[in-house]
Structure 1
Amino acid sequence: MRQYTIHHDGVTIPVSRDGEGRPLILCPGLLTTQADLRELIELLRHDFDVVSFDLRGHGLSSAGDRYSFDAFLGDFTALMAALDLPAPLLVGHSLGADLIVHYAAEHPDGFDRLVLIDGANPVPEPFITEADLPEFRAMFNDPALLQEAEQAKGTPHQILLTGPDILDLNLEIDSVRAEILDRYRKFDRPITMIMSTSMAGDSTEGRTLWRNQNWRNGVDRLVRELPHTQATWLDAGHDLLRTHASDIVRIIRGGNES
């Protein structure tokens, strides 16, 4: 394994590179670290030269003075410039998927294809409405979760974002996804979507059922409008990178061979 350090916007970002083959950049999602993706990276490295990293305020990266979408995108763009790899495959999960779509829109010739895992979805309606805010505020300020985050500081799994940081970013992602179709229209490279059937949980009632249907409606919309997009649904939750790593690698390999 080769290791690098990228410095951007006052943040230090650790980068790891492992394996042989075509270059693949793995962009993690919100609250996910390189350490969480160990199994996926181990499977991918047999076919790809895998580059992984931690987002600012995650894992072994240092804290940032802001945790906005533009801040994360700036870090990713700096990473890509530093690596300067020829036509890499870009793989992103959740927030990471949105980041690579925005990067692709600005650099339409700077990558081979995209694999979007449970993210970058042009959902018809925002996930968090005004009525949902109390529920999400309570979720992101759960004392047990805050204690767990505190205990993880200084470890490969650390998360330095606060509950309000996370909520604000989720609200911003809703706004980003409301306009993401315009980003997709700026490039025409192949897109593979790997989506979870239970993104919001496995309840068949109330807001959970609605959120999961909204998620599916967004993907159906994208596939309808962009013929170079293929979608595969996995019977999984939003943590499918951990629970379905082998399925994800199989789908990525299949697209690599086509």
Structure 2
Amino acid sequence: MTADVRTDDGCRLWADQAGTGPPLVLCHGGPGMWDYLGPVARLVDDHARVIRWDQRGCGRSQRRGPYTVDRFVADLDAVRAHLAGPRTALLGHSWGAHLALRYALDHPERVNHLIYVSGTGIDPDRGWHPRYERNLRRRLGAHLPRWEALGVRAGTPAEERERAVLQWSADFAVPDTALRHADDMATPWLGVNAECNRALGAEAKRELSESDVTARCRALEVPVLIVDGTEDIRPRWGVDSLHRALPNAERVSLVGAGHLPWVEDPQGFRRAVTRFLTTH
């Protein structure tokens, strides 16, 4: 069932909810993308009432700023208040994992579980991005020249989609199915908000450098599940310091899965998430 959520500054956010049970709000990655977590919802909607949403400026939500971390935290709070109730579980993927963590740090009394999927951690000094770039180029393989050519200039929507599909294919561990999985992510194609991506990416990096996120994580009592795929091209050691800082965290690494572990190990992902939600 779809719904519109209005934020305190009047921005319209697209949302959807399905399933029965305690609320679980999903936060998609990007930033600047749209919700692609329908498969996650279908894996767990017999254990939770799953709420998905397109972040501000993305997908089916209204195309307007500002694109700041504080603003996105406030938008998530609006989704929570409108659809989930006083307290909710949160699941964030990639950039969405950072958003969900930041929300839990700001509003721990409104979060009962936090599931941090394929995030990149809280350590600004270890420099995971150069390793990611090398791994991306290596995994693109024969598709690398075309991906590079498509990035030289602003393209048509079809060319933007083609480049995204090629890039996202590197997020899957099995070459034979990677392009198909990436094409599924890009269908329907709702366009990536590049302005949103740049603004939030830069602010999140600056925030990790200038604020003591580690100390705030040490004080977080909310139970946290960290889920990784062992074949993610973003180095998983980037999350080690986050795991060490959280006082009530466990970590599950799904062997042979990439950046979207629910795609390549759906049953392992379902087991980890549903066990966490029902035993903590």
Q: Per the shorter chain, which TM-score range?
A: 0.7 to 0.9
Distance apart, 1:26 and its partner CA: 0.9
User: How far has the Cα of 1:49 moved from its partner?
Assistant: 0.7
Unaligned runs of 5+ in 1: 201-210
- Equivalent positions of 1:98-137 (< 5 A) are 98-119=98-119, 121-123=121-123, 124-128=125-129
For each residue in 1:38-95, what CA deviation from the matched residue of structure 2 results, as whole angstroms up to 9, or x when unmatched?
2221121111111111112222112123333233222112222223524321111111
1:240 alignment partner, one of 261, 264, 269: 261
Q: CA deviation at 1:248?
A: 2.0
How many residues align? The count is 235
Contiguous gaps of at least 5 residues in structure 2: 138-147, 163-186
| Compared CA separation, residues 186 and 225, structure 1 to 2 (3 A) | closer
What whole-Å deviation, never above 9, does each CA across 1:213-244 have from its counterpart, x for those lacking one?
Answer: xx31x332233333411111123222334444
Residues 233 and 40 of structure 1: is their aligned pair in 2 closer, same or farther, counting only changes over 3 Å?
same
Tell me which residue corresponds to 2:63.
Answer: 63
Q: What is the deviation of 1:19?
A: 0.6
Task: Determine the C-alpha separation between the residues in 1 that align with 2:74 and 2:151.
Answer: 27
- 1:30-49 mapped onto 2 (5 Å cutoff): 30=30, 31-34=32-35, 36-49=36-49
Q: CA distance change for structure 1 residues 250 and 157 in 2, over 3 Å: closer, same or farther?
A: farther
Structure 2 counterparts to residues 22-37 of structure 1, below 5 A? 22-30=22-30, 31-34=32-35, 36-37=36-37
Structure 2 CA distance for partners of 1:93 and 1:240, relative to 1, 3 Å: same
Which stretch of structure 1 is more off in the superposition, 7-16 or 119-128? Answer: 119-128
d(CA) in 2 for partners of 1:167 and 1:140? 19
Moved beyond 4 Å, runs of 4+: 138-146, 149-152
- Show the counterpart of 1:19: 19
* Cα RMSD for the two superposed structures: 3.2
* Contact kept in structure 2, 1:37 and 1:242, CA below 8 Å: no
Residue 197 of structure 2 corresponds to which residue in structure 1? 166
State yes or no: 1:4 paired with 2:36: no
**Contact 1:88–1:111 (CA under 8 A) maintained in structure 2:** yes
The CA distance in 1 between the partners of 2:121 and 2:22, in whole Å, is 26
Partner of 1:180: 213
TM score, norm. by length of structure 1: 0.77
Kindly provide the amino acid, as one letter, of the partner of residue 125 in structure 1: R
Deviation at 1:128, TM superposition (A): 4.6
The one-letter amino acid of 1:158's match is L
Secondary structure of the 1:237 match is: coil
Q: Render the CA deviation track for 1:133-192: whole Å, top value 9, x for unaligned.
A: xx99x799455876348679xx85413512x54244333332334443233234211110
Cα distance, 1:106–1:173 mapped onto 2, change above 3 Å? closer
Does the CA-based 8 Å contact 1:29-1:94 persist in structure 2? Answer: yes
